[in-house]
Every structure is written in structure tokens, then in C-alpha cells.
Amino acid sequence: MNSPVRLAIRSFHSIREDLLARREIALLDVREEASHALAHPLFAANLPLGRIELDAYTRIPRRTTPIVVFDDGDGLAELARRRLQSLGYTDIALLEGGLDGWRAAGGELFQDVNAPSKAFGELVASRAHTPSLSAQEVKALLDSGDDVVVLDARRFDEYQNMSIPGSISVPGAELVLRARALAPRPDTQIIVNCAGRTRSIIGTQSLLNAGLPNRVHALRNGTIGWTLAGQTLEHGQARRFGAVDAGLRQQAALDARQVAQRAGVKRISVAKLEALRAQPDRTTYLFDVRTPEEYVLGHLPGFLPAPGGQLVQETEANATVRGARIVLADDDGVRANMTASWLAQMAWEVYVLDGLCATAFSETGNWQPQRFDPPQVDTVNATTLSAWLQEGKTVLLDFTASANYVNRHIPGAWFALRSQLAAAVGRLPAAERYVVTCGTGLLARYAVDELRLLTGKPVVLLEGGTAAWTAAGLPLESGATALASPRIDRYRRPYEGTDNAVEAMQAYLDWEFGLVEQLRQDGSHGFFVLEPAIPQP
């Protein structure tokens, strides 16, 4: 028998008490990401209304987790509460007064995305005095032919988009494992970079905490700083780390375990993990922090892919329940321990899974998330849809990400956000029927009944989504050709593209510099910072 659903209003003060006591709470901003980036509480996780059925079970695995949802007075929170209730969650509340209520009660509001991780990175830099060099200083080292190696701590796709000349892609959690092989001489100077500041700070400090004998510096302000200095970036590079021999791997494992021990990371066996997971009143996240390629080749059953550098960078997007437990696994004893050392400093209860053998990584392939059963709807194949569109009596809505829509979509399709569907309908031409699509058709399926209620007309799903249309060899177009909803589903990071305005990049850096003071004013974080293992040479 299901537990009764408790609907309530939660105040800023009661939520703050939970955060300070490290009790479990999922504080959900159900607006689109661009709206979330304008202002939100420190530990608010962005779970847009339109994606709740797809993502909630992964991000909030325990149905009795205390959940608080909010918006900015736009009516999304109540819809989200009902949607979460339909998924079986039983402890759902609205934030009293929404975002304005948080502000009025004296709550600190943060901008941008991944604010906890970025604020923590700035705290690390200020307390550990993480050494850094300016873009001009690094370029001078490279131009002079000094013994220096530049390691890019971002995801490989970010590195390919733009990179420091001559740099090598070594995503954050890989640094301690790979750095000795890439800089085998103690005299080699190591520069760690990212696009802005956070991952270069954490990456540099990882190497210092692990006791590497080399001089290690962060590239101050990353590729943004490089660009602001008027220096040229490379594009489309594919330099990546290579294999690590057994001796260096063993040394890295010893170093990483010592760092984890200093940070207070807990250890757990496979046998005891099952007992931990069985506790009904606690949430336990299981993450494999190796590379995506390694995960696909073999991983532990039930463990989600979360490469360690990105897990530290995007913690609230992976572990949405603040106060939950986190268990990390790898096959080398380096990446899990280093990642855990940072999560522990970010006030998470974190464990590293010990005693693993190769046969434990028995599942292969990509992660298959648990999702709410999608509704049964009428469908149409790509060939028939093509004929309908030529007749001119059908309107096609595409619910894919706006960036995907701009990249390619079915000719004549209108971009729409499910959370903005009522407003979108008012911008559409008259139609006798509507068809919905997205990349695979999964997200669009959930919009069929909603669109039918709004229009009173037949609504069908393109079977297999836009991928099926493409596979059939039918034409595609690109560009923002027909926007029924604004492109607010993703916040454009100032460090992301190659065409950002100088003012936007500088404003982003100024915001990061101010995060330590914002943490002080907020006072709910519980972060601490380790001292480096050894002084800089």
C-alpha cells in the first residue's frame, strides 16, 4: 500500500536547517536552465518541468526523499509537484513564496550553473593559495621552448572545441593517474587549464595534494584568460593521454589513497554496500568515475557513469539530493579516491568501494535509466509524415534541445518546450492535426496528450523521432527557422563558444571572483579545504 502523499509549504528557514544539519533534501528549480542561471539558491538543482518523467528516477532515486520545488512565480512549481506525485514521490512541498520568498527571507541567490562546485573551487584557490600563471606567462614558456606540458582538464569534446596550443586532453579525474607519464622528469613544469577557473584550480590542487614533485600551476582564467590576452587558440585537436605503466599506476594509487584518507573519505566493501543500499530512509548514489569509454566496456551493475572531473564540476546535477551518500568505484584506486577527496571537502558523505576484481565489472554498454512508463499514443511513420507535411494541413512540433534543433530538424518543424507549451500553441499556424517529435521520440511522447488538450485536435507521435526521419533519407534543414518557444532550455556559458563577447567573458570571471564572499554570506555549505601535501618546488 502506498504511503499517503504529504503536500506542504516549506520556508527558507526550515530548508536552511536541513542543509546545516546535512539532512537529505532535494531542492528543485523546475524552470528551464537559462532561467535557473539567472538566480537560484546555492544547492538548488535544476530539473526542468518538461524533463521530470525522464530524469527524476535517476536523480532522486528514493521515492520518500523530502523534495521542495520552486519557480519564479510562473506557475511551474505546482505543475511539477503534481507530476512528481504521479511518479510516486510522497514528500513534496512548495518553497514558500518561490524565488522571491527565498530572497525576501534573506537567502543568498547565486547565478550561473553548477554554482556549488564553482564556489568551492574559488574557496580552494583562496585557502590553499593554488599557484597560477597568467596567459602571457604561459605563452612565454611555450614560445621559449621550456620543459613544460599543458594538460587540459575539461571533457574531450570541450577540448576539441578550443584548446591551448600544444596542450593534451587529460580530464580532471585522470590527472593524478596520468601526469607522471606525461611529465616523467621532475623538472618538467605542468600547467593545468580549463575554460575558466574551476577545473584548472581543482586539477592543479589535485596534483599538489597528491605530492607530485613537479612545479604545477593553473592557467589563470583558462581559455577565457588566453582569449582576453589576445592569444590564439587551437581548434579540432585530438591529443589525448596514453597508457600508464604498472609502476606509475601503483604510485598514483598510493598517492590518491593518502589524499582520500586525509579528507576523511570512508571505505566500504561490496558486501557492506548492499546493506547500505537497503536502508529505506537514506539515498545512496553509485558512480563509476572512469572514462566513458571504460564504462561502456565494463562496469559494476547499478553504477552510473560519472567521470570524476565532471562529477566534481557538476555535483548537483548528478547527486541532486543534498545530504545523500555517494559511493565511487574505479579499477585502479586513483580516480575514485581523488574524486572522493574533493566530494568529502564539499561536505558529502562519500565512500570508495574497495576489494574489486576485474570480473566485478560485468555489465557492458551504456547506462539504461529507469523511467516512468511512457504513455501509449498514436504514431505515424516518417514516410506518411512527409506526405502529410506536403499537404499543408499538419503542424510538426520538435521538442528536442534547442541546440539540436538549430543544428538540424525536419523542414517546417517548430521548436517547442514542453514547459512552455500553452504559450507555444498560440504562436502556431492553424492545423487539422499535430505531430510531435524529438531526437528519439521519447520526450515528445509525453507531450501528446497535453497538446491534444490544448488544441482539441488529433496529435500523433513521429515513430522513432527525428532519428527515424534521418534514417529514411528524408531531407533536413538547419537554423532557428521556426521558434514557438524561446531558446531558454540551455544557458549559454561565456566560456563555451569561440565567439563570446569580451564583456561577457570578463563578467563571468568577475562573478567567479565574488563567489567566496557569497559563500560566506550564505553560510550553509560546510566546505573545507585540505592543505597541499608538499610545498611547491
Grid coordinates given for 284: 545512496
- Residues 197 and 204: beta-carbon distance below 8 Å: no
Q: 490 lies in a domain?
A: no
3-state secondary structure of 517: helix
281 and 354 belong to one structural domain: yes
Please report, to the nearest 10 degrees, the dihedral formed by the alpha carbons of residues 289, 292, 296, 301 taken in order.
Answer: 20
3-state secondary structure of 322: strand
351 and 326 belong to one structural domain: yes
135 and 219 belong to one structural domain: yes
142 and 211 belong to one structural domain: yes
278 and 316 belong to one structural domain: yes
Distance of CA 387 to the CA centre of its chain: 40
304 and 405 belong to one structural domain: no
Closest-CA residue to 109 (of 204, 217, 170, 29): 29
Q: Which CATH number do you get for residue 305? A: 3.40.250.10
Measured over the CA atoms of residue 168, residue 174, residue 178 and residue 183, the dihedral's sign is positive
349 and 448 belong to one structural domain: no
Across residues 373-379, what is the average pLDDT?
Answer: 91
Across residues 371-394, what is the average pLDDT?
Answer: 93
305 and 328 belong to one structural domain: yes
Least confidently predicted of 52-66, 386-400, 507-521: 507-521
* Distance from C-alpha of 308 to C-alpha of 396, rounded to nearest angstrom: 40
pLDDT at 7: 52
pLDDT at 249: 96
Percent residues over pLDDT 90 in the chain: 91
pLDDT at 499: 59
For 68-94, what is each residue's pLDDT tens digit? 999 999 999 999 999 999 999 999 999
82 and 167 belong to one structural domain: no
- Does the structure show a pLDDT above 80 at 430? yes
- Partners of 45 in beta bridges: 28
- The angle that helices 515-522 and 115-128 make with each other, rounded to 10 degrees, is 110
pLDDT at 396: 98
- Does the structure show a pLDDT above 50 at 256? yes
pLDDT at 509: 80
Q: Domain total for the chain?
A: 4
Domain boundary among 471, 498, 530: 471
Domain boundary among 113, 137, 153: 113
Q: 464 lies in a domain?
A: yes
- Residues 459 and 445: beta-carbon distance below 8 Å: no
394 and 448 belong to one structural domain: yes
Phi, psi of 133 (to 5 degrees): -125, 150
Domain boundary among 471, 491, 506: 471
Q: 284 lies in a domain?
A: yes
- Residues 527 and 347: beta-carbon distance below 8 Å: yes
pLDDT at 536: 56
47 and 73 belong to one structural domain: yes
Q: 321 lies in a domain?
A: yes
pTM for this predicted structure: 0.94
Closest-CA residue to 136 (of 95, 96, 164): 164
* Distance from C-alpha of 43 to C-alpha of 356, rounded to nearest angstrom: 33
* Distance from C-alpha of 67 to C-alpha of 79, rounded to nearest angstrom: 14
For 110-138, what is each residue's pLDDT tens digit? 999 999 999 999 999 999 999 999 999 99
Full residue range of the structural domain in which residue 169 is found: 127-238
Q: 389 lies in a domain?
A: yes
234 and 131 belong to one structural domain: yes
pLDDT at 374: 84
Q: 435 lies in a domain?
A: yes
Average pLDDT, the chain: 94
For 11-40, what is each residue's pLDDT tens digit? 999 999 999 999 999 999 999 999 999 999
Higher pLDDT, 511 or 530: 530
List helix spans (H) across 92-221.
98-104, 115-128, 135-143, 156-161, 175-182, 198-209
pLDDT at 537: 52
Q: 83 lies in a domain?
A: yes
pLDDT band at 497 (very low <50, low <70, confident <90, very high): low
Percent residues over pLDDT 70 in the chain: 96
pLDDT at 1: 41
pLDDT at 505: 77
Q: 372 lies in a domain?
A: no
